[in-house]
Amino acid sequence: MSENGPEPGCTSRTFYLGTEVSAVSEERRLDVLRAIVEDYVRTREPVGSRILTERHQLGVSPATVRNDMAALEEAGLIAQPHTSAGRIPTDKGYRLFVDQLAEVRPLTVPQKRAIETFLSEAVDLDDVVARAGRLIAQLTGQVAVVQYPSLRRSGLRHLELVPTAEGRLLVVVITDTGRVEQRFLDVPVDLDDGTLGELRARLNAATAGRRLADIGDAFAGVAEAMPPEHRPLATAVAEVVTTALSEESEERIVLTGQANLARSGMRFEQGLRPVLEALEEQVVLLGLLTDMTDDAGVAVSIGHENRLAGLAETSVVTSGYGSSDGDTVAILSSIGPTRMDYPGTIAAVRAVARYLSRVLPS
């Protein structure tokens, strides 16, 4: 445990563990960490040096492992619940494991096929989202969160204007991802079917296929093309569509598998309550998922890395999904204890996101 800086030319690495050891020792220490993570995830019990040498081919004695463990603990990668117990990984330890040590474990062919068929049997968007959630929950044994395709990132398929008996106008928006939203509009002028039909046709011609986020200009053009007495109506419709559909409250998520949290072996130090409460704050939860998701595949957030205090004992695995052309229109994720099967969870989330993207514009 010399505290000197690294000497030039020597083989020591201090990158992960902060102490100065040979490259081969360094590697074994990471093997020990991997073994600890894998054992702890499986048995849910702190793992000691003896067990470790018995269950893994480390090629060294328990005493040596103990030294390695001391180094890992010094580096903040593992910890002891109490003095005479084995070690468990810290959040930092899981992070290193996920980033560098975990081996990719793809799903089996039957599993993939099951995902594909189950998703393709869905009859509408609600069904697709519900089924995706059930798949994730079942594959990971954890809680699934699936976001509905975001309106802002979806394209417009059709815009419908329906006059109602009460003299109001019902504006219905259908996106190419299958979502349907509607708003009532108190129209200031009386309408004849011809005008309404014209407006509907113009609106649809101008907006079809565009992103909801950028149809403002298209609407402006339509309003100008209408006869002056109907321009207020056109702008009112545009107003309703653009404002209502950009509201954050229109983002929707679905939770599945909350019963998995109550399974034996899901013990949380603080109990289920903070977790369930965090899951119920859907707006905040979605914000967390959105922030951690980048376009490049699966993202993992571990324990205290999560902004939400209620999720301090959980890890979140998310992935974006989208239409077949690769754009991300929404997020899906699996949430479980930090002591989760990361390779399995990552594989499941990735696979479901992929098939979901394929099935989506049904």
Partner DNA sequence: TCCAGCACTCTCACCGACCGAGTGCCAATC
Partner DNA sequence: GATTGGCACTCGGTCGGTGAGAGTGCTGGA
The residues that touch a copy of itself, with contacts defined as CB under 8 A, are 123-124, 126-127, 157-158, 160, 162, 164, 170, 172, 174, 178, 180-184, 244, 247, 249, 252, 256-259, 261-263, 271-273, 276-277, 279-280, 362
DSSP state of 311: G
Burial class (CB in 10 A: 0-12, 13-18, 19+), 8: exposed
249 contacts DNA (rule: CB under 7 A): no
What single DSSP character describes residue 108? P
Cα(109)–Cα(327) distance, rounded to whole angstroms?
Answer: 26
Q: Is residue 28 near DNA by the rule CB under 7 A?
A: yes
* Burial 264-284, CB ≥16 within 10 A → b, else e: eebeeeeeeebbeebbeebee
In whole angstroms, how close is the CB of 277 to DNA at the nearest point? Answer: 27
The strand order across the sheet containing 298-302 reads 253-256, 143-147, 328-337, 314-322, 298-302
Using CB under 7 A as the binding criterion, the count of chain residues that bind DNA stands at 29
Determine the residue type at 77.
Answer: L
Dihedral of alpha carbons 343, 345, 351, 353, sign: negative
Residue 320 interaction partner, one of a copy of itself, DNA, none, beta carbon < 5-8 Å per kind: none
Nearer to DNA, 19 or 319 (CB): 19
Q: Tell which one of 80, 111, 282, 362 touches DNA (CB under 7 A).
A: 80
Describe the chain by its helix, strand, coil percentages, rounded to 5. Answer: 50, 20, 35
The single residue among 85, 189, 283, 309 that binds DNA, judged by CB under 7 A, is 85
Nearer Cβ to a copy of itself, position 134 or 230? 134
Which residue's CB is nearer to DNA, number 118 or number 268?
A: 268
Q: Which is nearer to DNA, 39 or 251 (CB)?
A: 39
Give which of DNA, a copy of itself, none residue 108 binds (C-beta under 5 to 8 Å, depending on kind). Answer: none
Asked if 60 touches DNA (CB under 7 A), the answer is yes
Residue 62 site contact among a copy of itself, DNA, none (CB < 5 to 8 Å, cut-off depends on kind): DNA
Amino acid type, 310 = G
Q: What is the dihedral of CA 268, 131, 104, 300, to 10 degrees?
A: -50
Q: Does 89 bind DNA (CB under 7 A)?
A: no
Residues found near DNA in the complex (CB under 7 A): 21-22, 24-25, 28, 46-51, 59-64, 66-67, 69-70, 73, 80, 82-87
